[in-house]
Amino acid sequence: MKMRINYQSASKNTHSVGQAGTSMLEVIITLSIMSVISVASVWLVFTTLSLRDQVLATTTTTESLRVFSRTLTRAIQNTSVVGGSSSSLLLTSAAECWSFVYDSISKNVRYSQTLASGCTPNPDPTILFFPSYSEISAFNFSVASLATGGRQVTVSGVINTIFPFENYQTSFSDTFTNVID
């Protein structure tokens, strides 16, 4: 029994020359697609962070102004002596004193509260009222006497809340009436 081996078929190359690797065009197309996907991903992350900071800045600013207004309302309504200047408000009552002073260097409002009978307001408070990432500008207190004997206190300014991807700025103005004289 004789076996025949076909040597010609065993030595044939089964791959064509074009299929051995990727062409330059395929590499360029792949890199282009990856670049577009990368740019879109970075844009999506940036947009998401920007939107998050915008919402956070808006809610933080609104809440800070609400607390500031509520604190001033409580302090002014219960006071018997209202004093100060365009950048400060000094309030004295029988058992409580408040100081609100605008600090143009830190661009914030500093405040203090003293609970004691016969106290005097601290003219140089140290506690910042607004968060450190907020800046207050064009700040002004004004005190006007009313015909009824009370006083009307107006506070106004501009608050700018700064986050890495978004800044939120709004103006504020509020008027409080003190009827204790």
Which pLDDT tens digit goes with each residue over 120-151? 999 999 999 999 999 999 999 999 999 888 89
139 contacts 122 by C-beta, under 8 angstroms: no
Quote the number of domains for the chain: 1
φ, ψ (nearest 5 deg) of residue 148? -80, -5
3-state DSSP assignment of residue 36: helix
- Using alpha carbons, select from 134, 92, 149 the residue that is nearest to residue 100: 92
How far apart CA 122 and CA 113 sit, in angstroms, is 8
- Judged against a pLDDT cut of 70, whether residue 3 lies above it is answered with no
110 contacts 128 by C-beta, under 8 angstroms: yes
**In-domain check, residue 7:** no
- pLDDT score, position 71: 97
What is the pTM assigned to this prediction?
0.77
Band the pLDDT of 22: cuts 50, 70, 90: confident
More confident residue, 6 or 51: 51
**Left, alpha or beta for 150 (phi > 0: left; psi -120 to 50: alpha)?**
beta
Mean pLDDT of 150-173: 95
How buried is 100 (Cβ within 10 angstroms: 0-12 exposed, 13-18 middle, 19+ buried)?
buried
**In-domain check, residue 38:** yes
- Determine the structural domain holding residue 50 and report its residue range: 24-178
> How many residues are given for the chain?
181
153 contacts 143 by C-beta, under 8 angstroms: yes
Mean pLDDT of 56-72: 96
- pLDDT score, position 148: 84
How far apart CA 21 and CA 80 sit, in angstroms, is 89
- Judged against a pLDDT cut of 70, whether residue 8 lies above it is answered with no
How far apart CA 126 and CA 80 sit, in angstroms, is 24
**In-domain check, residue 16:** no
3-state DSSP assignment of residue 75: helix
- Judged against a pLDDT cut of 90, whether residue 43 lies above it is answered with yes
- Judged against a pLDDT cut of 80, whether residue 14 lies above it is answered with no
Mean pLDDT of 154-172: 95
